[in-house]
Structure 1
């Protein structure tokens, strides 16, 4: 992993983020990505080699492993983190586009088009909200897949009768307790990220509605009836 690129990415996202979104970044990069790189990959490194079935029939172990573990937890979580972190780049790209557009406009007209290109107003506000929806949606989708395939569980022993197994055989998973603990850790941190995204969406919408109501009140005060002096 290139930590310099990661630092630049975090810095770019933080520049256009709220405090809630910065907290989301901390949870993602410290409690998910670092744990994934440092610990999770090591725990699952022997998942296929140490999956042993009590039979000498060639091919039985491979077939049984594929039946009960159709997709590796490590690869599923790697995909999840890629999909979850990418929407933040939409906001960065949109803000950079506005900055470039602002410079070009200023060069021709002499005045800036945006007072602050990175401020979440207009289309950038909707891009930001959309990025939050995508982040929460991807986390929900991957949690559903994990529940559908594994039910958030890591069995110690599984029974398999698929061909070419001669009969029903017992297959033993390696480090089941350790893997179950890390599975629930990843599930809980994903749920935390979903909660933070929902909180930020509600915060931004509430803030926008209240701001609109304040402007509406000011407008009504400006056009209200005037009392003639006596």
Structure 2
């Protein structure tokens, strides 16, 4: 159990950078995979080869038939599956620790930008999802969804068709179905986490582009102000050269004009 505890401690360090969906994936990984495989899986599949019995005493026939029935042991296949799934998060943890040590050790080295760290985590989730899908397809092609209790084997070194029998086929079938269901759940959580990261990073990228456009707009010179247009003269109004009469002298000016006109008429009459 020492190697499982070491792997679990490394996966626990990923929680510092994981969202809620990523932490759910870690719970599924640590409990429903590592813990179940270390406690139940070993007891179910540890005697797989010893209890594989064939109705022949021909030397080498039973080993050859077992190899044809199970090209890769279930337990070793799932162990390699867990190790490969844990590789992207562990590499991300190593990268984060390296960046933190570089920031603390160098005076001129500034902290790594969050977008770079986010892209690294996004890449680790994508690699994890690809590995999950590849192993689900490999398990379906190698073993199917049922462990058959009987296996007919023919070919050298067996002298004829040999009947071989698997120990506890029902229990192994249940475990195979359980592990495949856990793989599907893990793949769905990885897809949800990938979509969450892409959706979360999209508005921030838009804000960064808007901020860059605003900064570029501030650096550009202001556009020239167009000259103000003069109002067009009213065709029904007085000409432009005419001077308006004072407002206060409108009534008095009219009286003087009438008096001067009467004086001119008297002079003409004389």
Both proteins in one fold, TM over 0.5: yes
Higher relative contact order (CA 8 A, sep 6+): 1
Cross-structure match for 1:139: 132
Distance in 2 (alpha carbons) for counterparts of 1:142 and 1:219: 44
Cross-structure match for 2:115: 122
Say if 2:188 is the partner of 1:195: yes
Say if 2:36 is the partner of 1:53: no
TM-score where L is the length of structure 1: 0.85
**The residue matched to 2:151 in structure 1 has which SS?**
strand
CA deviation after TM superposition for structure 1 residue 7, in Å = 5.2
Cross-structure match for 1:44: 45
CA deviation after TM superposition for structure 1 residue 152, in Å = 2.7
Cross-structure match for 2:163: 170
CA deviation after TM superposition for structure 1 residue 56, in Å = 2.5
CA deviation after TM superposition for structure 1 residue 219, in Å = 6.3
Cross-structure match for 1:228: none
- Map 1:194-213 → 2, pairs under 5 A: 194-213=187-206
**The residue matched to 2:163 in structure 1 has which SS?**
strand
**The residue matched to 1:170 in structure 2 has which SS?**
strand
- Map 1:1-230 → 2, pairs under 5 A: 1-2=1-2, 5-6=6-7, 8-105=9-106, 108-109=107-108, 113-114=110-111, 121-216=114-209
Distance in 2 (alpha carbons) for counterparts of 1:43 and 1:94: 37
Alignment check: 8 A CA contact 2:32 2:182 kept: yes
CA deviation after TM superposition for structure 1 residue 122, in Å = 2.4
Alignment check: 8 A CA contact 1:16 1:91 kept: no
CA deviation after TM superposition for structure 1 residue 133, in Å = 1.3
1:84-108: per-residue Cα shift (whole Å, max 9, x none)? 0121112212211221222234xx3
1:150-201: per-residue Cα shift (whole Å, max 9, x none)? 1232111111112122221211111111001101111111111111111111
Structure 2: unaligned runs, 5 residues or longer: 223-270
Distance in 2 (alpha carbons) for counterparts of 1:218 and 1:102: 27
Superposed CA RMSD in Å reads: 2.4
Distance in 1 (alpha carbons) for counterparts of 2:5 and 2:33: 18
Distance 1:20 1:157, change over 3 A: same
Distance in 1 (alpha carbons) for counterparts of 2:19 and 2:137: 28
TM-score where L is the length of structure 2: 0.73
Larger Rg: 2
